[in-house]
Amino acid sequence: MNHWSSFRTIRLVGTFLIALLSFSSIQAQDGEALFKANCASCHAVKEKLVGPALKGIETRRPEDWLIKWIKNSQTLVKAGDDYAVKIYNDYNKVAMPAFNLKDDEIKAMLAYIKTEAEKPDAVADPKGPAGGAAQEAPKPIGLYLIIAIVIIGAIAMVLRRVQDTLARTVRQKQGLPEPAPMTRSQAFVHWSRNNKKLVAVILIFLALYGSVKGWYALQSVGIHQGYLPEQPIKYSHQLHAGKLQIQCIYCHSGAEKGKVAGVPSANVCMNCHKYVRKGPETGTEEIAKIYKALDYDPDKGTYGPNPKPLQWVRVHNLPDLAYFNHAQHVKVGQVACQTCHGPVQDSMTVASQYSPLTMGWCIDCHRKTPVKMAGNGYYAGYDHSKL
């Protein structure tokens, strides 16, 4: 009986170990999801965006301070905390929005930041697509889970052989006949009947794990974050908006005037490329595509009779139920383009969807971002005392 009891105890412990490791992995995923939903529009782990880079943040300030800062940074600033005031002043006194997060959720985000910071910088494959995402390094928790499963499986096999040997020895001493051989299905049913508690634990774990994985799978339906289609011309935002410092509004002039920011027509490109015929990255290859679309002869400086439109692939596509007006956000709300579109000037060689653009993501931004009434002519006709 002692052998049977020990065997069952080890199996139960192994099952709980796998469950613990799996739920740790789920917690890490939660930290990643929380970070992308709340922080990624202004912060990156290893580079400065709207706010500072977050690598090593756990060494700069204690955890309890970070929790207070993330929940409401202005509380620390108004209290005169030296570090909080310094950060506030260094970043042009732009207040970080308050976040209604639980302590455990913030700790999960901090754990995710630490894990990401420890990963080696990915080296871009020169043969890979421009602007493509580097292959993500495998998470350490997956390796630990595989090792645990292998060890537990080996222990289970050894104990199974010991169990069979002891049972055979007992039958031989007592003169009992050998049991009839069973098929795999019969053996599984027999094992399940004799291990009802373990089966119940496994089923509960699978139900919980399946619910969590199913929830995240359903959350991703219709979300195209990271979408990076191939375009007819390899246009680099990093070069034009970053290195050359061309303002977003120069090309996307509709962003200040109406609902749609608009894709510039090729004649806007020609304002510069009528004179700039060779680029620093692709030479004449991509610029020649503009000339071909306009049926333009750069040597003669003349346009032909057969221009053809450039077939750009749309990157950001909101559902029909959503109404988004660029002018309301860019002109009236004074929201920076990078808030939704990410650091296009720093790292985006090919346009991609940076933010999830879900309804929850928009609502979260509206809940945390104060309406700028001071100095805003849009609200000049309102009696603020009655609002």
HEC states along 150-196?
HHHHHHHHHHHHHHHHHHHHHHHHHCCCCCCCCCHHHHHHHHHHHCH
Residue 8 has a pLDDT of 54
Mean pLDDT of 168-184: 81
Residue 129 has a pLDDT of 38
Higher pLDDT among residues 289 and 71, named by residue: 289
> What is the overall mean pLDDT for the chain?
81
Pick one of 3.20.20.140, 3.30.565.10, 1.10.760.10, 3.40.50.720 as the CATH number of 39-118.
1.10.760.10
Most confident segment among 1-10, 141-150, 242-251: 242-251
Residue 334 has a pLDDT of 85
The encoded tokens of residue 251 equal 């090309």
pLDDT per residue as tens digits for the range 101-140: 888 888 888 888 888 888 886 543 444 434 444 444 445 5
Does the pLDDT of residue 381 top 80, yes or no?
A: no
The encoded tokens of residue 217 equal 């799978």
Residue 14 has a pLDDT of 56
Give the CA count within 13 Å in the CB-facing half-sphere of 46: 9
Residue 47 has a pLDDT of 74
Residue 4 has a pLDDT of 45
Does the pLDDT of residue 299 top 70, yes or no?
A: yes
Does the pLDDT of residue 23 top 50, yes or no?
A: no
Give the CA count within 13 Å in the CB-facing half-sphere of 206: 6
**Residues of each domain in the chain carrying CATH 1.10.760.10:** 39-118
State whether residue 297 is helix, strand or coil: strand
Q: Pick from 262, 244, 254, 270: which is nearest to 345 by CA? A: 244
Contact 113, 54 (CB under 8 A): yes
Q: How far apart are CA 372 and CA 382, in angstroms?
A: 13
Does the pLDDT of residue 260 top 90, yes or no?
A: yes
Q: What is the sign of the dihedral through the CA atoms of 300, 303, 309 and 313?
A: positive
Residue 386 has a pLDDT of 55
